[in-house]
C-alpha cells in the first residue's frame, strides 16, 4: 500500500477507536478501509482525460476519493482533477481537506454541507456534472416528515433510506457516460420498498460490476457492522447491452477474487416487474432454478401469508397450558423441529400454546389442515436461510382451527390447508440446497418475507406430489437425499 494511503488508513483507525459509537451511529459514520477503497477505485474504467471532475458524497476523511486520486495519478500522471468532497460533520473537514490536498488537485472543494441540500442546489442551478463519483453513503432511515424527504420528493426521488438517496442524487449529478462506484447494503436488491430505487438506477445507468463478500463481518470489521455489503459499479446513460461482471471475494483482502460475466437477463429477469437484482455466485452458474422450475404460486393455486397472530396484541386470549374449550393450537417456530416433527405442546418453550377464539381472534385463524410453514428468521446454527416444516393435521385431530404466530410464514389456500402430499412436497422443495442458493442470489437478509417466497419459482403440482409421496415413505430424511430427489425431478422436467 502506498504511504499516503497507509497514513490515511491509520487516521481512519485512530478516528474509529476514539469516536463514540453514538456519534458514529448518529451520522452513519463508518469509514472505508483502504484495501476496500483501492478495490473500489480499481473498478473505474478511466479514459485518458485531461481533467476529471470527481465527487465524494459523504466523504468522511476522504478514504475513498484519495484511493481514486491515487489510481488516476498512477494510471494517467498527466491528467489533473477537480475534487468536490461533501461532508456533514464539521469536525472532519480539516482532516478531509488535508488528506485530499496530498494529491495536489487542480481544484479542491471540501464542503461542510448536507449532501441532500448540496445535490438539490446543484441540480437546481445545473451547476456541474461529475465524471467520476465514489461513495460509501450513510445507512440511515429518512424520516417521512424530514426536510430531506421533502427535497427528494421535489426531485421525484422516492427512497426510504439515506444510502439510496445518496446514490440516486449522485446518479443525477453524474455526466453522461460518467461512472459511479458505491459500497452499500445489499438490502435494496429485493423487497418492494426499494422497487422505485431499483427502477431509478436501472433507467439511468448500466450495471457494470457487482462485488460481494462471503463474510458479513469482514468489510467493516473494526466497526462490528453486520450488514451484508456489496460494491456496485454503474455507468450513466449506457444501455445494458454488455454483460455484468459478478465478482466475489471471501473477505476484504481480495486475495481470492473470482469473477464471472453474466448476461443482464440473469441479473434482472426481463419479465420481473419488481426488478429484483439477482447476484449469482460462481458455483451457481449451472443451476438457475428459474430455468428448471417455472410454476408460480398463482398457477399452483396457493397463497402464502405471514402468521397473523401478533401475540402482544391479543395477550388476554393466550393460553400456556393445555388448551381448554374455545381454544385452538397457536404455533410458534419452537413448535417445529425438523421437516415434520411437531412439538406441541412444547414444555420447554416459554411461549403460549393456544389462542382463545372470540370475535377478534376468529379473523386470525385458519382452518385445521396440512400446511407448509416457513420460519421468518432462520436459527443461527442453521446453514439454510429457508427453513420449512410440514404441519401434519393428523397429529392434531381434535381441532377445527389452527393459529399461526407472526414469526411464521404459512402456505395455504384461502386460509385452509393444502393437499397433504403437496404440503409435504413443498416443504421438501423449500428445504433443498438449490432453493437456498437461489434465494441467496436475490436476498442478503436472514429474514424470509412473504414477498420473497412469492418470487421463487416452484415445481408444478405433479412434481410437488411426487416429492410429497416420496417423503411420506421416510421417518427421517437427510439433506443429501432431499437434494438428490429434487435434482431427479429436474432431470425429468
Ligand atoms: C459511511 S461513512 C463513509 C465515509 C467515507 N466516504 C468513507 O468511505 O470512509 C458516511 C459519511 O457520511 C457523512 N454524512 C452523514 N450524513 C450526511 C449528510 N446528510 N450529508 C453529508 N454527509 C453525511 C458521515 O458523517 C460520514 O462521514
pLDDT for 275-294, tens place per residue? 999 988 755 444 578 888 98
CATH number of the domain at 132, please: 3.40.50.150
- Cα of 80 to ligand 1 centre, how many Å? 25
CA distance 285 to 266: 10
Number of Cβ within a 10 Å radius of residue 319: 16
Q: Is the CB of 96 under 6 A from ligand 1?
A: no
Q: In the chain, how many domains are there?
A: 2
- Regarding whether 128 and 222 lie in a shared domain, the answer is yes
Residue 292 lies in a domain: no
Q: Is the CB of 142 under 6 A from ligand 1?
A: no
Q: Decide: 186 and 49 in contact? Cβ < 8 Å.
A: no
In this prediction, residues 237-259 reach a mean pLDDT of 86
- Choosing from 23, 36, 67, 88 the residue with most ligand 1 atoms within 8 A of its CB, the one to mutate for a pocket test is 88
CA distance 452 to 434: 15
Residue 102 lies in a domain: yes
Q: What is the pLDDT of residue 56?
A: 98
- Cα of 136 to ligand 1 centre, how many Å? 7
Residue 291 lies in a domain: no
CA distance 69 to 76: 10
- Regarding whether 203 and 180 lie in a shared domain, the answer is yes
Residue nearest to atom 11 of ligand 1 (CA): 58
- Choosing from 87, 139, 173 the residue with most ligand 1 atoms within 8 A of its CB, the one to mutate for a pocket test is 87
List the domain range (segments joined by +) for residue 121: 3-285
CA distance 360 to 314: 9
- Regarding whether 307 and 263 lie in a shared domain, the answer is no
pLDDT for 362-374, tens place per residue? 999 999 999 999 9
Residue nearest to atom 19 of ligand 1 (CA): 114
- Regarding whether 231 and 160 lie in a shared domain, the answer is yes
- Regarding whether 261 and 350 lie in a shared domain, the answer is no
- Regarding whether 130 and 192 lie in a shared domain, the answer is yes
Helical H segments across 301-403, by residue range: 359-362
Q: What is the pLDDT of residue 220?
A: 61
Q: What is the pLDDT of residue 286?
A: 46
The set of cell numbers assigned to 336 is 417445529
Which residues, including other chains, have CB under 8 Å from residue 270's CB and lie 6 or more apart?
A: none
Residue 290 lies in a domain: no
pLDDT for 341-350, tens place per residue? 888 988 888 8
Read off the pLDDT band of 227 (50, 70, 90).
low
CATH number of the domain at 361, please: 3.90.220.20
Helical H segments across 188-342, by residue range: 195-204, 289-292, 297-300
Q: Is the CB of 32 under 6 A from ligand 1?
A: yes
Amino acid at each position: 500500500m502506498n504511504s499516503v494511503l497507509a497514513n490515511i488508513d491509520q487516521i481512519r483507525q485512530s478516528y474509529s477507536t476514539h469516536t463514540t459509537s453514538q456519534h458514529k451511529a448518529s451520522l452513519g459514520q463508518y469509514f472505508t478501509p483502504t484495501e476496500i477503497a483501492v478495490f473500489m477505485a480499481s473498478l473505474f474504467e478511466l479514459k485518458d482525460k485531461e481533467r476529471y471532475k470527481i465527487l465524494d458524497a459523504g466523504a468522511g476523511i476522504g478514504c475513498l476519493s484519495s484511493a481514486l486520486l491515487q489510481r488516476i495519478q498512477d494510471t494517467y500522471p498527466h491528467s489533473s482533477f477537480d475534487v468536490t468532497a461533501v461532508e456533514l460533520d464539521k469536525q472532519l473537514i480539516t482532516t478531509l481537506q488535508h488528506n485530499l490536498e496530498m494529491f495536489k488537485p487542480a481544484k479542491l472543494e471540501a464542503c461542510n454541507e448536507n449532501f441532500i441540500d448540496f445535490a438539490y442546489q446543484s441540480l437546481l442551478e445545473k451547476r456541474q456534472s461529475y465524471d467520476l463519483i465514489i461513495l460509501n453513503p450513510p445507512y440511515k432511515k429518512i424520516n417521512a416528515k424530514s426536510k430531506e424527504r421533502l427535497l427528494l420528493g421535489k426531485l421525484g426521488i422516492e427512497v426510504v433510506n439515506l444510502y439510496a438517496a445518496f446514490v440516486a442524487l449522485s446518479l443525477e449529478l453524474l455526466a453522461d457516460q460518467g461512472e459511479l462506484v458505491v459500497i452499500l447494503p445489499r438490502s435494496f436488491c429485493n423487497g418492494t420498498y426499494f422497487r422505485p430505487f431499483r427502477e431509478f438506477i436501472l433507467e439511468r445507468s448500466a450495471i457494470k460490476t457487482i462485488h460481494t463478500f462471503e463474510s458479513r463481518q469482514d468489510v467493516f470489521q473494526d466497526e462490528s457492522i453486520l450488514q451484508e455489503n456489496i460494491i456496485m459499479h454503474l455507468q450513466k446513460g449506457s444501455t445494458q447491452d454488455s454483460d455484468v461482471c459478478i465478482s466475489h471475494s471471501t473477505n476484504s483482502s481480495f486475495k481470492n477474487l473470482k469473477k464471472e460475466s453474466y448476461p443482464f437477463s440473469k441479473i434482472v429477469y426481463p419479465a420481473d416487474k419488481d426488478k429484483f437484482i439477482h447476484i449469482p455466485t460462481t458455483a451457481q452458474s449451472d443451476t438457475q432454478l428459474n430455468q428448471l422450475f417455472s410454476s408460480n404460486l398463482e398457477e399452483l393455486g396457493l397463497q402464502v401469508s405471514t402468521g397473523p397472530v401478533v401475540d402482544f396484541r391479543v395477550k388476554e386470549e393466550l393460553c400456556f397450558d393445555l388448551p381448554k374449550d374455545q381454544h385452538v393450537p397457536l404455533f410458534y417456530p419452537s413448535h417445529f423441529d425438523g421437516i415434520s416433527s411437531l412439538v406441541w405442546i412444547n414444555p420447554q418453550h416459554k411461549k403460549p400454546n393456544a389462542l382463545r377464539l372470540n370475535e377478534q381472534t376468529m379473523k386470525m385463524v385458519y382452518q385445521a389442515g396440512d400446511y407448509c410453514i416457513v420460519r421468518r428468521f432462520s436459527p443461527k446454527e442453521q446453514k439454510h436461510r429457508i427453513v420449512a416444516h410440514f404441519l401434519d393435521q393428523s397429529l392434531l385431530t381434535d381441532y377445527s382451527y389452527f393459529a399461526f404466530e407472526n414469526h411464521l410464514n404459512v402456505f395455504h389456500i384461502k386460509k385452509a390447508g393444502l393437499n397433504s402430499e403437496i404440503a409435504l412436497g413443498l416443504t421438501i422443495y423449500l428445504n433443498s440446497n438449490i432453493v437456498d442458493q437461489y434465494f441467496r442470489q436475490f436476498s442478503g437478509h436472514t429474514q424470509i418475507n412473504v414477498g420473497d417466497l412469492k418470487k421463487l419459482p416452484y415445481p408444478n403440482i405433479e412434481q410437488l406430489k411426487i416429492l410429497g409421496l416420496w417423503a411420506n415413505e421416510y421417518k427421517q430424511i437427510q439433506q443429501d437425499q432431499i437434494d438428490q430427489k429434487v435434482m431427479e425431478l429436474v432431470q425429468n422436467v
